[in-house]
Amino acid sequence: MPESKTDKIMSIATKRGFFFPSGEIYSSKSGFWTYGHLGTLIKHNFEDLWRNYFLGLSENYYEIEDTNILAKEVFKSSGHLEHFSDPLTECKKCNFRFRADELVEDETGLNVQGLKENDLDKVIKENKLKCPRCGGELNKVKFFNMMFDLRVGATGEDIMFLRPESAQSSYLAFKREFMALRERLPLGLAVIGKAFRNEISPRQGFFRLREFTQAELQIFFDPGDLDKCENWKEVSKYKLKLFIKNKLQEFSCEDANKKLKLPKFYVYHLAKIQQFYLDILKISKEKFRFRELEEKERAFYNKLHFDIELNLETLKGFKEVAGLHYRGEHDLKGHQKGSGEKLEVNINGKKFIPNVLELSFGVDRNIWGLLDNFYDEDKERQMFKLPFSLVPFEIAVFPLLDKDKLPEKAQEIYEMLKKEFKVLYDNKGSIGKMYRRVDEIGVPAMITIDHQTLKDNSVTLRDRDSMKQIRIKIKDLNNVVKEFLNGKALNKLGKILK
């Protein structure tokens, strides 16, 4: 049986240091992964791109950082204690537990998100579904709260929870930050941090985790300004890819506002999210879409909800990697009631509870999505053709041979380049093997030091994607590499070597 794309990606990821199961020298638990040295570099690159792009949308958008452990009262007010549950079914024979909606989706292809226990039981019965592990009968569906609880303090009487999403941190910080930032709206508070969900049976490898990283931006605004947008002209003609009622269509932002009745403030952020994926992350337009969630699928407090989906070959179709949610006043109103703290604002004599627009991204899911989309192979090699802004290293420096003073010269050039670029040095093995190793991890530019270097102070620059090379002088190296990494074609930087 041929090796699947998932297996190939996992092989490179675990072998080269992208990520691997946490605690694998013991019996590692599903849903927990360690980022290795390369994965950490890529993850930080993604987070920095996200941070610079989305916080750059407004001068009043800022990042904060909070604890991962929050009081029980927070989640009582937010509704998580009551509503943050997934449908669980258990095999009567082998006692293995499954998430019922995913089991139905896997076995039948039906979308049953949002169905209640009795409805899921009916679908399971009608389709004669059995335990995929042993073929046994399944118990009736019940809902299971996914939060991890902790006992805090010497007596263990205080119960707190690991946060299941980073969003609550922004809501709890709103009043302090609103006052500190001179009481202006819209106000954006972003969190890039950990969240924890006790998934019933994590599947899909690295895509569904129990401990994961979110990048979220909560935008607090006057509900009266929902259909207003200061930068509307910037996006009004821009076309969005919207999957609505099982049909993929393109709408200009103007048509999305007028024909679909989507408010301008919401549509503007749809456009900016799409531009982030297509222009910054370089995702192919055909692999991207927004999917509108039906009322039964979305959280009860979300008045508008589009998922951001990428077409992932490893997961056999479009999968959610992010979301744009108009949450109304639900969050601040709930915390105002639960805490007794006034979260209403007064702007120019108008008193109101700010509404929230949430941009929520699963960082780890996006990392997997990028590896899926940019994996490539040919007869000679496997590699990730990642955009240059995401690669763990921009340049690799090699001596052709590990002798004849070539390593010393290569080390000298490495020291020069690393002042401006992210550079990897390697001298282990043949030049062909070194090329293959750095191709595999996505390094775009390779500098080779050979015997001619010692004669005329020139080196070869090799392009990852085409494998073509040019020869350039060391004194010009920094400028040429900079132009190459900014997108200039190799043949415009020098003569292609035969």
CATH code, domain carrying 108: 3.30.40.230
- Does the residue 387 lie in any domain? no
Rg value, the chain, Cα: 26
Residue 473: strand, helix, or coil: strand
- Does the residue 31 lie in any domain? yes
Same domain (yes/no): 237, 320: yes
Least confident stretch, 71-75, 96-100, 258-262: 96-100
Closest CA to 417 of 470, 357, 353, 461: 461
Same domain (yes/no): 269, 358: yes
Please give the backbone phi and psi of residue 246, each rounded to the nearest 5 degrees, phi first. 65, 25
pLDDT for 81 equals 84
277 or 201, greater pLDDT: 277
Same domain (yes/no): 66, 90: no
Q: What whole-number distance in Å separates Cα of residue 308 and Cα of residue 323?
A: 5
pLDDT for 479 equals 96
| Cα four-point dihedral sign 416, 420, 421, 423 | positive
Same domain (yes/no): 50, 114: no
Measure the CA dihedral 428/431/436/439, to 10°: 100
Judged against a pLDDT cut of 80, whether residue 332 lies above it is answered with: yes
Judged against a pLDDT cut of 90, whether residue 156 lies above it is answered with: no
What's the half-sphere exposure (Cβ side, CA atoms, 13 Å) at 84? 18
Number of domains present in the structure of the chain: 3
Same domain (yes/no): 177, 96: no
Same domain (yes/no): 125, 249: no
Q: What whole-number distance in Å separates Cα of residue 142 and Cα of residue 121?
A: 10
Provide the residue range defining the domain that includes 120: 85-142
Please write down the long-range contacts of 12-19, taking CB distance under 8 Å and 24 or more positions apart.
Answer: 12/382, 12/384, 12/440, 12/441, 13/39, 13/206, 13/371, 16/437, 16/440, 16/441, 18/42, 18/371, 18/441, 19/206
CB 153, CB 141: distance < 8 Å: no
Judged against a pLDDT cut of 70, whether residue 204 lies above it is answered with: no
pTM: 0.92
Rounded mean pLDDT, 129-141: 88
Least confident stretch, 4-13, 84-93, 215-224, 430-439: 84-93
Judged against a pLDDT cut of 80, whether residue 429 lies above it is answered with: yes
The amino acid at 494: G
Same domain (yes/no): 281, 398: no
Same domain (yes/no): 189, 240: yes
Structure tokens at 91: 């095999």
CA angle 363, 274, 63 (to 5 degrees): 45
